[in-house]
């Protein structure tokens, strides 16, 4: 890692690490007696550890100019390892939470193990730890290949990757300590949010600098999706996290919005986080790795571009469908519902484009579990986007909202779409990056695939049944006009479904453990080959992509 940095980059890295350590020291001293101080200690230890790593490799010889003829993949490798590690950790916590709902005593009387603290650990670990690291790593990989140029320097990719993981550590450790601003998927407090803005701006600048150096005249569609992911997530994060700390030595803050305005801002953020973090970025992943693995051009390059602009425009308006039957003005709710219905067109355009790309390659899907991961991801993407538009309709929403049906919908997307396409991309990348002919064990890839499919289906079907039964019980009246079932009655009825959910989650988690072991063994037994040059793997030229079926 350090040996690939130039002397100037090592000095700059040292300065940044020292500044981070000083910030941690100031936080630790100023926040004594407050969780803010505990986070200061974590930042201090993190900064000092990075200083030692840099000093350890400081006097190694500088890299030769030959490096400029090959892609810079060290951060991509690290991002893949971070991603699969976060996956195992966060899915373990997720399954624990699932068992906790069936058997509430599994907190073992520990405050940090309560549902309210473990649940955001799971969601943040999966979305930002697992998904975010995969998106950063694959974006570094894809933009170099599609632009046929190397990253502009060696330091900024590490700053983005390491800085992003510091944010994840602050977020997750904060939840265990009870630090939260109580905004779903945006729970970290103000100082962690500010740090993420710094990292994200560096990410955007790095991306733009790489594209500006491209040797391909065309910007491949995957880069448009990654660009939308980076730009819009920055805007969402800043607006939704506008808050005033009660003091600069305290972890606690209050949002500047209040009441229904705060709710609307939160769900504008929440649904667009689904759109641009969990959809656009992963579509960029799909549009590069699926055609590559299938060995075929995209079915329709024009459909991919139209889908991009459709998703980018329509998604922005749909967040208000989370607030049906609330104090939000009726016309805003209707606006969200209408755009949610229209959004189905570009969403299915992407799913259909992916599946039609596999025409002529279905024999590969049968034999290749990596490609099968990507195919199943496209199917789940189509199903979950249809379900999302359906659930946004006000009459359907009156039954589904606040029930486990919503949980089923979310996990059809995250387990079936986001996780499947990510595991497919990881299995495509790992042998290439570590110069192996194939994964350590193709049989274990098969095991991972079938455990994931079984786990996702058991989970989603259990929650579909649970949610619909739950919703019907809550709206059933007896002859005297009062509710036929109490809330406790519905909880008792849910118990078998909650056990089924925990079993499904365990199967999916077991698949992730198998994947982690397979990746680890592939890395351990990797043999070194010569670095890949920019001439060996030309980008997926739009001309080639346009040739198919148009």
Structure tokens at 118: 């473990």
- pLDDT at position 532, please? 60
What's residue 549's pLDDT? 34
Distance (Å, whole) CA 412 – CA 380: 7
In terms of phi and psi (left: phi > 0; alpha: psi -120 to 50; beta: otherwise), the region of 326 is beta
Q: pLDDT (tens digit, 9 = 90+) per residue, 268-313?
A: 999 998 889 999 999 999 999 999 999 999 999 999 999 999 999 9
- Give 550's pLDDT tier (boundaries 50, 70, 90): very low
pLDDT at 370 over 90: yes
Give the mean pLDDT of 123-145: 96
Please give the angle made by the CA atoms of 220, 224 and 227, to the nearest 5 degrees.
130
When the pLDDT of each residue in the chain is averaged and rounded to a whole number, the result is 91
Decide: helix, strand or coil at residue 63. coil
Output 82 or 61, whichever has higher pLDDT: 82
Element (H, E) at 485: none
Does the pLDDT of residue 68 top 90, yes or no?
no
How far CA 59 is from CA of 1, 10, 17, in Å, comes to 13, 10, 17
pLDDT of 497? 96
pLDDT (tens digit per residue) in 389-418 = 999 999 999 999 999 999 999 999 999 999
Tokens coding 533: 């040059």
- Cβ–Cβ < 8 Å for 84, 519: yes
pLDDT at 236: 93
What percentage of the chain exceeds 90 in pLDDT?
83
Does residue 535 surpass a pLDDT of 70? no
The closest of 523, 544, 299, 508 to 423, measured between CA atoms, is 508
- Quote the pLDDT of residue 118: 96
Angstrom distances, CA of residue 519 to CA of 8, 73, 106, 431, 512? 34, 16, 32, 9, 10
Whole-model pTM: value is 0.93
Predicted confidence (pLDDT) at residue 221 exceeds the cutoff of 80: yes
pLDDT tens, residue by residue, 495-518:
999 999 999 999 999 999 999 999
Q: What is the mean pLDDT of residues 321-340?
A: 92
């Amino acid at each position: 890692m350090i040996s690939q940095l130039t002397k100037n980059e090592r000095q700059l890295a040292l300065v940044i690490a020292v500044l981070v350590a000083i910030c941690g020291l100031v936080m630790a001293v100023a926040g004594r007696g407050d969780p803010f101080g505990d986070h200061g200690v974590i930042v201090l230890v993190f900064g000092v550890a990075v200083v030692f790593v840099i000093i350890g490799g400081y006097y190694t010889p500088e890299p030769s100019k030959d490096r400029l003829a090959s892609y810079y993949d060290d951060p991509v490798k690290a991002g893949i390892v971070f991603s699969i590690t976060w996956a195992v950790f966060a899915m373990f916590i997720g399954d624990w939470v699932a068992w906790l709902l069936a058997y509430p005593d599994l907190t073992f009387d520990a405050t940090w193990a309560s549902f309210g603290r473990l649940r955001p650990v799971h969601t943040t670990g999966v979305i930002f730890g697992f998904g975010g690291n995969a998106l950063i790593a694959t974006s570094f990989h894809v933009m170099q290949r599609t632009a046929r140029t190397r990253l502009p320097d060696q330091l900024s990719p590490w700053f983005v990757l390491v800085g992003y993981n510091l944010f994840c550590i602050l977020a997750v450790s904060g939840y265990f300590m009870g630090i939260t601003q109580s905004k779903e998927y945006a729970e970290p407090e103000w100082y962690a949010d500010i740090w993420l803005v710094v990292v994200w701006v560096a990410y955007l600048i790095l991306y733009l600098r790489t594209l500006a150096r491209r040797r391909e005249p065309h910007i491949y569609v995957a880069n448009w999706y990654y660009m939308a992911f980076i730009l819009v997530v920055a805007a969402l994060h800043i607006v939704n996290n506008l808050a005033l700390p009660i003091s600069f030595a305290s972890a606690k803050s209050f949002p500047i919005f209040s009441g229904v305005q705060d709710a609307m801002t939160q769900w504008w953020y929440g649904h667009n986080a689904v759109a641009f973090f969990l959809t656009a970025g992963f579509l960029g992943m799909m549009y590069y790795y699926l055609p590559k693995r299938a060995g075929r051009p995209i079915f329709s390059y024009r459909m991919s571009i139209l889908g991009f602009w459709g998703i980018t425009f329509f998604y922005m308006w749909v967040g208000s469908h989370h607030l049906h039957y609330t104090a939000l003005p009726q016309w805003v709710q209707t606006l969200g519902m209408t755009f949610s219905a229209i959004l189905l067109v570009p969403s299915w355009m992407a799913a259909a484009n992916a599946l039609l790309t596999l025409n002529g390659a279905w024999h590969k899907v049968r034999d290749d579990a990596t490609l099968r991961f990507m195919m199943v991801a496209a199917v789940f993407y189509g199903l979950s986007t249809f379900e999302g538009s359906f659930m946004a309709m006000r009459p359907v929403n009156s039954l589904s909202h606040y029930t486990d049906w919503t949980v089923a919908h979310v996990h059809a997307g995250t387990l079936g779409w986001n996780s499947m396409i990510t595991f497919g991309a990881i299995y495509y990348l790992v042998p290439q990056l570590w110069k192996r002919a194939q994964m350590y064990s193709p049989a274990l890839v098969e095991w991972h695939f079938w455990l994931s499919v079984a786990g996702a289906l058991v989970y989603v079907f259990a929650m579909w049944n649970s949610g619909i039964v739950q919703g019907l019980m809550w709206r059933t009246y007896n002859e005297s006009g009062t509710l036929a079932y109490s809330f406790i009655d519905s909880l008792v009825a849910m118990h078998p479904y909650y056990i089924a959910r925990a079993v499904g989650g365990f199967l999916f988690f077991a698949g992730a453990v198998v994947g982690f072991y397979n990746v680890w063994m592939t890395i351990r037994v990797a043999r070194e080959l010569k670095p890949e040059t920019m001439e060996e793997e030309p980008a997926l030229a739009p001309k080639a992509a346009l040739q198919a079926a148009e």
